[in-house]
Each structure stands twice: as C-alpha cells, then as structure tokens.
C-alpha cells in the first residue's frame, strides 16, 4: 500500500508529546511491513534538533505549490528529509510565516492566534502532496485535530478527480480533549462551502471543530487503545463528541500504540549511564540509579526507592493527586523525580516541594530527552496517575526499562498494565500497580502497596521480569492498522461482497471541481 501519514509533529524533527513518537515509529513499522510510507509534517526550522543534517538530509522535493486559504493563494514548498538510518520518506511542509516560530502551537502559554489557518494550510498541503505523487496514494492517514480537515478534503475534493477516486482516509484520535475548535468566521479559511457548517458535519456548538470534521468524513477512525475507544463514546470521556463517535462506532477501532525499539531499549540506549538487559539488570540498573540521583542532586542511596514521573504538566496527568497527597508522600522514605513542563501551577508547586525537601524531591522543569531516558532507567517506580490517558507511552517505556508503573486504570493504561494480585502473580502477568478510583486515597494506598512489595525482592523481580519480557514493539499493532486501511479501502472501492452503505451524510450537490491551483 502507498500511505501518506500526516502529523503535526514527529521525532526527531519536532515533539511536544507522544504523538511525535507514534507518528514516526508507526510509519517505520508500516514501512518495515513492506508498505510505501511518506510521513509528512510542517517544517519548524527553529525547533529542529541542532546539527540535524547529520541525521537527515533536507532537499527540495516536488513542485512548489499554492493553495487557497480563504480568498488568498498561499504558497509553500515541499522538502524531503530522508533519514539516514531508516528507509522512511519524510516530507516537510515549508512555509516560514506559519511554522518558523519558537514553539509548535503556542507561546507564553497562549495558542498562536492563527492556529486554524496554520493547520488548514498544512491539511491542504498534505492533499496537494498526494496530487503530486506519480502513483496516487491508497491511504491518507490524518492524526489529531491539526489534520482533521484532511478527511474532508479527501472526500469532498480529492476523490472528485477520477485519478484520485480510490484514495481512502483514516483519522486517528490521539487525544479527544484537543479538538481544534475555532470561531465560525474561520470556516471560510477552509475554502469549503458553508453548507458543511452544520451540526452533523463541521460545526460544534456554533464553532468550527476540526477533529469532529475529521471524524465525520474519514472512511475509518482509530484511537490509540481499545479501552479509550469505548471510553470516548461516553459523556465522561467523549468531551462532547461521544454521540458523533457512537454514530460511527462501526468504523472506529482502538489500537494500542507500540514502542520504537531503536529509541527505547536499555540494552542500546546511549543516553543512560550503563546499558542493561533483563539478564544484566542487577548490574546495570543500580549504576543508572546512582547516575540519576547525581544528575538530579539527590543523595546517592541504593536502598531508597525512586519514584519517577515524566509528563506534560496538564490537568490530564494526575498532578492534582500528587498535590493532594504530597505531605503523605513526604513522610515516606522515598525519592521523587519529576520531569515536565506546562501548567505554571504544577511547575511552581513541584519546584517549591523540591526546595522544601531537597533530599526527597528533585524537579527538572523543561523538556529534556536525556533526562527522560535517565529517569526511565534510574527509577524503581514510575508514576502515571492520569485522570484519563488515551494510550500513554511512558508506562510501556518504564516496563521495558524494568521500572514498575503505578497507574490509574483508564484508557491505554488499563490495556497495558496488569495490576499485581496473587492471581496475576501466579499467572505471570503482573507488571505494575493500578487503581480504579481517581482519588488521593486510592493513589496513596497504591503507592504504599507498591512500596511494600518493593521490599520483597523476589516478587519485585518477577514483576520487573514480566514487564521487560513483554513485546511492546509495533509488530502486532502495525498489522491492525493495515487491517483498518483495508477496511477503509473496501468502503470506497466496493466489491460486491464488501460494499456497505456509507455513513457520511450524502453530498447534496454534484461533484465540485477540485481546487487545483498549481
């Protein structure tokens, strides 16, 4: 299959969260299955890693293009960024006015005012890239709200051109909490007729909603874990889109993310002090633990359990539980290490806690790939008490590094962490600790339970072993995406056996001429 995977971020080019890891590692996994994959993202020169030309070669690609943004024509160009170490093709959308900025989506805590325009442009550029392919792609895979317009453009513009009639779209929801909602006067930016601005398609409580648009028009929809796929169909987790999703549940699949073995593997990780595997963990991990304590300026003690946390500091991630239970945590003989950035409230609270308890708490407020790897390797326990969690990657990274996660049992955390009980221990499946009720008391009880088991070295070893010997790579999940792509294609290239009624509301006008502005 010929696949275009569009994402607003992807490692190693630009990252604010797990989407960046998944965009690249899924693309690579699909390419390894023999598919022709092009990963496309904006070109953010200011956030690209220093010295990147050693890792990927950037060259002009295809023809410069112009797309309609409202009444204007906006120009852009494609750059190819071939990664030296993989066979993956990466295309960057170059438009300095939109993307040459210090951060991806916001500055000083405020979203860029023209975010709608920036990502309408990106979505149109992705479709433009498809038009420039010699062989049309089979699938255009959109990720999150930033590319939510892509399925609309595929269905309502691209496919009207007979050469592209066989292109199917897939929309993946990585986090339904972020929907790309903009005031209705941004609708003309999309270049689409106002007829689409209705409650069944692109409108949501009077606003333009890009994620809803993607969900409505995509041939298939996925989200990043089976449990989250069920949760988002409920008012508790659906953030208002639960009915839209329930209406499309036949086309919704939950596929658990995988992990890139090349980036997250203690046996080869060059960012940690000592490499180790399951066989050599007893030698390697204590070295990483001491190194973490030194790096974070904590007393170097091998007997004290280190509880680590790496996270965007937002309400999603359970920091309110940490705050609520902090004084109880401070009574325990533990060390806490936090890496993250985001909400000032949480940053300040944790910095203050570290000031008050310098022997127990260390914080790194900021973004650091190196410290993230050191925490995964050097901690004994990883905290992920998220209020909700579509998939979550750090609990899987932790298990790979022999660090036992404590999680709130939701979303992908429920699908990857098997709580320690006598029966899961004897079944050889226990790999972490989880709690059901999102309360401080449930959280602290689980921490105490984990610390109690930590003292029982034999049992702890078994839990570590279960986590480390599970295959968290993309092998299984990448095949599930291929099945989803096939189902999407069957919908638009119906065979007598597989045809089914389209769920998209029928278009009331004859096919329009595609906006081809080249």
Specify the stretch interacting with ligand ADP by CB under 6 A; choose among 109-117, 129-137, 292-300, 335-343.
Answer: 335-343
Sign of CA dihedral 405, 408, 411, 416: positive
Residue 432 contact, options ligand ADP, ligand GLC, none, Cβ 5-8 Å cut-off depending on partner type:
none
- C-alpha distances (whole Å) from 401 to each of 355, 397, 464 are 29, 6, 9
x/- map, 286-315, ligand ADP, by CB under 6 A: ------------------------xxx---
Residue 339 found at the interface with ligand ADP (CB under 6 A) = yes
State the residue for tokens 């680590």: 308
Specify the stretch interacting with ligand ADP by CB under 6 A; choose among 198-206, 389-397, 415-423, 435-443.
Answer: 389-397
The residue among 17 and 440 lying less far from ligand ADP, judged by its C-beta, is: 17
Least spacing, CB of residue 257 vs ligand GLC, in Å: 5
User: What residues contact 418, with CB distance under 8 A and at least 6 apart?
Assistant: 424, 429, 430, 431, 432, 466
Contact 212, 248 (CB under 8 A): no
Contact 379, 276 (CB under 8 A): no
User: What residues contact 280, with CB distance under 8 A and at least 6 apart?
Assistant: none
Least spacing, CB of residue 295 vs ligand ADP, in Å: 14
Residue 341 contact, options ligand GLC, ligand ADP, none, Cβ 5-8 Å cut-off depending on partner type:
ligand ADP
What's the longest Cα–Cα distance across the chain? 72
User: What residues contact 3, with CB distance under 8 A and at least 6 apart?
Assistant: 30, 35, 36, 37, 38, 137, 138, 139, 140, 141, 485
Least spacing, CB of residue 190 vs ligand ADP, in Å: 27
Q: Which two tokens stand for residue 64?
A: 């410069």
Contact 209, 202 (CB under 8 A): yes
Q: Which two tokens stand for residue 397?
A: 């990274």
Span 147-186, contacts to ligand ADP by CB under 6 A: none
Least spacing, CB of residue 198 vs ligand ADP, in Å: 31
The residue among 213 and 223 lying less far from ligand GLC, judged by its C-beta, is: 223
Report how far residue 267's alpha carbon sits from residue 284's, in angstroms, rounded to the nearest whole number.
Answer: 9
Contact 70, 64 (CB under 8 A): no
Q: Helix, strand or coil for residue 468?
A: helix
Nearest residue to ligand ADP, by Cβ distance, number only: 18
Residue 220 contact, options ligand ADP, ligand GLC, none, Cβ 5-8 Å cut-off depending on partner type:
none
Least spacing, CB of residue 434 vs ligand GLC, in Å: 15
Span 440-479, contacts to ligand ADP by CB under 6 A: none
User: What residues contact 296, with CB distance under 8 A and at least 6 apart?
Assistant: 337, 362, 364
Contact 134, 105 (CB under 8 A): no
Least spacing, CB of residue 9 vs ligand ADP, in Å: 10
Q: How many residues does the chain have?
A: 518
State the residue for tokens 């410290």: 371
Nearest residue to ligand GLC, by Cβ distance, number only: 18
Residue 211 found at the interface with ligand ADP (CB under 6 A) = no
The residue among 265 and 368 lying less far from ligand ADP, judged by its C-beta, is: 368
Report how far residue 382's alpha carbon sits from residue 62's, in angstroms, rounded to the nearest whole number.
Answer: 45
Residue 224 contact, options ligand ADP, ligand GLC, none, Cβ 5-8 Å cut-off depending on partner type:
ligand GLC
Least spacing, CB of residue 219 vs ligand ADP, in Å: 25
Least spacing, CB of residue 52 vs ligand ADP, in Å: 18
Report how far residue 462's alpha carbon sits from residue 304's, in angstroms, rounded to the nearest whole number.
Answer: 19
Residue 478 contact, options ligand GLC, ligand ADP, none, Cβ 5-8 Å cut-off depending on partner type:
none
Residue 368 found at the interface with ligand ADP (CB under 6 A) = yes
State the residue for tokens 């325009």: 117
Residue 394 contact, options ligand ADP, ligand GLC, none, Cβ 5-8 Å cut-off depending on partner type:
ligand ADP
**Residue selected from 1, 2, 12, 17 as contacting ligand ADP according to rule CB under 6 A:** 17
Residue 62 contact, options ligand ADP, ligand GLC, none, Cβ 5-8 Å cut-off depending on partner type:
none
Q: By the criterion CB under 6 A, which residues form the site for ligand GLC?
A: 17-19, 22, 174-175, 224, 257, 389-393, 412
- C-alpha distances (whole Å) from 29 to each of 46, 85, 106 are 28, 14, 31
Omega before residue 96 within 30° of 0, cis = no
Least spacing, CB of residue 46 vs ligand ADP, in Å: 18
Burial of 429 (0-12, 13-18, 19+ CB in 10 A): middle
Least spacing, CB of residue 282 vs ligand GLC, in Å: 30
Specify the stretch interacting with ligand ADP by CB under 6 A; choose among 124-132, 319-327, 363-371, 401-409.
Answer: 363-371
Report how far residue 41's alpha carbon sits from residue 13's, in angstroms, rounded to the nearest whole number.
Answer: 9
Least spacing, CB of residue 175 vs ligand GLC, in Å: 4
The residue among 24 and 311 lying less far from ligand ADP, judged by its C-beta, is: 311
State the residue for tokens 């049309």: 136
Residue 311 contact, options ligand GLC, ligand ADP, none, Cβ 5-8 Å cut-off depending on partner type:
ligand ADP
Contact 218, 151 (CB under 8 A): yes
Least spacing, CB of residue 237 vs ligand GLC, in Å: 12
Q: Helix, strand or coil for residue 370?
A: helix
Residue 340 contact, options ligand ADP, ligand GLC, none, Cβ 5-8 Å cut-off depending on partner type:
ligand ADP
Q: Which residues bind ligand ADP (CB under 6 A)?
A: 17-19, 21, 310-312, 339-341, 367-369, 372, 391-394
């Amino acid at each position: 299959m010929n696949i275009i995977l569009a994402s607003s971020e992807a490692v190693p080019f630009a990252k604010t969260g797990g989407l960046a890891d998944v965009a690249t590692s899924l693309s690579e996994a699909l390419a390894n299955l023999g598919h022709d994959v092009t990963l496309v993202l904006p070109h953010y020169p200011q956030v690209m890693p220093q010295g990147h030309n050693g890792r990927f070669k950037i060259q002009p690609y295809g023809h410069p293009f112009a797309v309609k943004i409202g009444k204007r024509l906006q120009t852009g160009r494609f750059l190819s960024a071939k990664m030296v170490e993989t066979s993956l093709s990466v295309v960057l959308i170059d438009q300095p006015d939109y993307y040459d900025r210090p951060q991806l989506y916001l500055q000083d805590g405020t979203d860029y005012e023209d975010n709608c325009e920036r990502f309408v442009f990106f979505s149109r550029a992705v479709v433009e890239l498809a038009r420039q392919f010699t062989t049309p792609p089979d699938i255009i895979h959109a990720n999150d709200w930033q590319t939510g317009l892509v399925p609309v453009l595929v269905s309502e513009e691209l496919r009207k051109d007979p050469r592209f009639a066989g292109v199917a779209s897939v929309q993946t929801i990585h986090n339904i909490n972020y929907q790309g909602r903009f005031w209705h006067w941004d609708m003309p930016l999309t270049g689409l007729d106002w007829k689409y601005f209705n409650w069944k398609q692109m409108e949501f409580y009077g606003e333009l909603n890009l994620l809803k648009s993607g969900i409505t028009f995509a041939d298939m929809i996925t989200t990043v874990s089976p449990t989250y796929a069920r949760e988002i169909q409920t008012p508790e987790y659906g953030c208002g889109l639960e009915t839209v999703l329930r209406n499309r549940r036949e086309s919704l699949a939950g596929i658990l993310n995988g992990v890139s073995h090349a980036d997250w593997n203690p046996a080869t990780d060059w960012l940690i002090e000592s490499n180790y595997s399951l066989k050599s963990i007893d030698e390697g991990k204590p070295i990483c633990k001491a190194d973490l304590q030194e790096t974070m300026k904590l007393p170097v003690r091998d007997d004290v359990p280190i509880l680590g946390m790496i996270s965007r500091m937002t309400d999603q991630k359970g920091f309110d539980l940490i705050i609520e239970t902090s004084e109880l945590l401070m009574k325990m003989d533990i060390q806490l290490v936090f890496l993250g950035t985001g909400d000032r409230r949480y940053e300040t609270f944790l910095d203050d806690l570290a000031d008050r308890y310098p022997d127990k708490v260390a914080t790194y407020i900021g973004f650091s790939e190196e410290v993230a790897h050191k925490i995964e390797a050097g901690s004994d326990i990883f905290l992920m008490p998220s209020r909700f969690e579509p998939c979550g990657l750090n609990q899987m990274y932790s298990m790979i590094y022999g660090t036992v996660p404590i999680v709130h049992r939701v979303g992908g955390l429920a699908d990857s962490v098997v709580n320690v009980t006598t029966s899961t221990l004897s079944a050889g499946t226990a790999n972490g600790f989880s709690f059901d009720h999102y309360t401080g008391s449930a959280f602290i009880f689980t921490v105490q339970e984990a610390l109690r088991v930590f003292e029982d070295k034999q049992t702890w070893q078994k839990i570590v072993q279960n986590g480390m010997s599970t295959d968290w790579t993309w092998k299984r999940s990448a095949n599930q995406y291929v099945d989803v792509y096939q189902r999407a294609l069957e919908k638009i290239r119906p065979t007598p056996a597989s045809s089914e009624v389209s769920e998209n509301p029928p278009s009331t006008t004859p096919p329009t001429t595609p906006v081809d502005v080249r």
